[in-house]
Amino acid sequence: MRPSVDELGQLVDLVKTDPTVYPLAQHLASKQVHGITTIAATAMAGAILMIGSVTFLAHHDCSSFTGSCSYSTSWPILGLGAGTMAVGGFIGSWMLPRRGELRNVVEHWNDRHPDEALTVDGAK
């Protein structure tokens, strides 16, 4: 039975002896790290903007007539935060390696090492 590969970290460990396939697997692992980092960073930035829009970036409105002050949400900043989260999530997801790229690296390994063939997710 051939070993099954279902994560990039596992693939990188399995192919590190091959000087041709190993850089391909490392490249996919790097793409995964960059994509996840982009998603996390933009989610954090968007959340900070959204929280800030109702706290430290809110409009401070004071009425000279009543002498009272209030805070009102900064709607443009709130929208900017939501947009940052949405666009960042999309871009980060786009940066992640696709399943076909993992299969291509596994097929490249299998072509070079037929006696140590791998499968993706148990598929033959």
Q: Domain tally for the chain?
A: 1
pLDDT over threshold 60, residue 1: no
- pLDDT, tens digit (0-9, with 9 covering 90-100), for 88-98: 999 999 999 99
Are 116 and 1 spatial neighbours (Cβ–Cβ below 8 Å)?
no
* Domain presence at residue 116: no
Which two structure tokens, joined as six digits, stand for 29?
């692992």
Q: For residues 90 and 104, what is the distance between their CA atoms, to the nearest angstrom?
A: 24
With residues binned 3-state (H G I as helix, E B as strand, rest as coil), the percentages for the chain, rounded to 5, are: 65, 10, 25
- 91 lies in a domain? yes
Return the bridge partners of 71, or none.
Answer: 60
Identify the domain containing residue 94 by its residue range: 41-106
Whether 55 is in a domain gets the answer yes
Q: Is residue 6 part of a domain?
A: no
| Residue at 48 is within a domain | yes
pLDDT tens profile 9-35: 899 999 999 999 999 999 999 999 999
Confidence of residue 81 (pLDDT cuts 50, 70, 90): very high
Position 3 scores a pLDDT of: 77
